[in-house]
Amino acid sequence: MAIIHNTTVKPTKLELLTAWLPTRPWYVGNGTPELSKAGGFRLDDPEGEVGIEFMVVVDSSGPEPTAYHVPLTYRGAPLPGAEGALVGTMEHGVLGPRWAYDGCHDPVLYAQLLALIEGHVQAQAQSVTDTPDHEVTRSFTGAGLPSPDWPVTVTDDQDGTILGEALHLRRVLRPAAPDTAPEGATGHVIGAWQSPDGTRARAVFAFLKPVSQKPLA
- Tell whether 144 is covered by a domain: yes
pLDDT tens by residue, 17-37 = 999 999 999 999 999 999 999
Is this prediction's pTM over 0.85? yes
- Tell whether 185 is covered by a domain: yes
Measured at the CA of 110, the angle between CA 121 and CA 70, to 5 degrees, comes to 95
Question: Using 50, 70 and 90 to split pLDDT, how confident is the model at 177?
Answer: low
Answer with the residue of higher pLDDT: 109 or 7: 109
Measured at the CA of 42, the angle between CA 39 and CA 43, to 5 degrees, comes to 160
Max intra-chain CA distance, the chain: 47
Residue 5 has pLDDT above 70, yes or no: no
- Tell whether 1 is covered by a domain: no
Closest C-alpha among 110, 176, 163, 166 to residue 141: 166
> What pLDDT score does 130 carry?
87
Q: Rounded mean pLDDT of the chain?
A: 92
Peptide bond just before 11 cis, omega within 30 deg: yes
Residue numbers of the domain that contains 195: 9-208
Backbone angles phi, psi at 168, to 5 degrees: -110, 135
Total structural domains in the chain?
A: 1
- Tell whether 216 is covered by a domain: no
- Tell whether 18 is covered by a domain: yes
- Tell whether 215 is covered by a domain: no
Question: Using 50, 70 and 90 to split pLDDT, how confident is the model at 8?
Answer: confident
Q: What whole-number distance in Å separates Cα of residue 96 and Cα of residue 203?
A: 34
- Tell whether 2 is covered by a domain: no
- Tell whether 153 is covered by a domain: yes
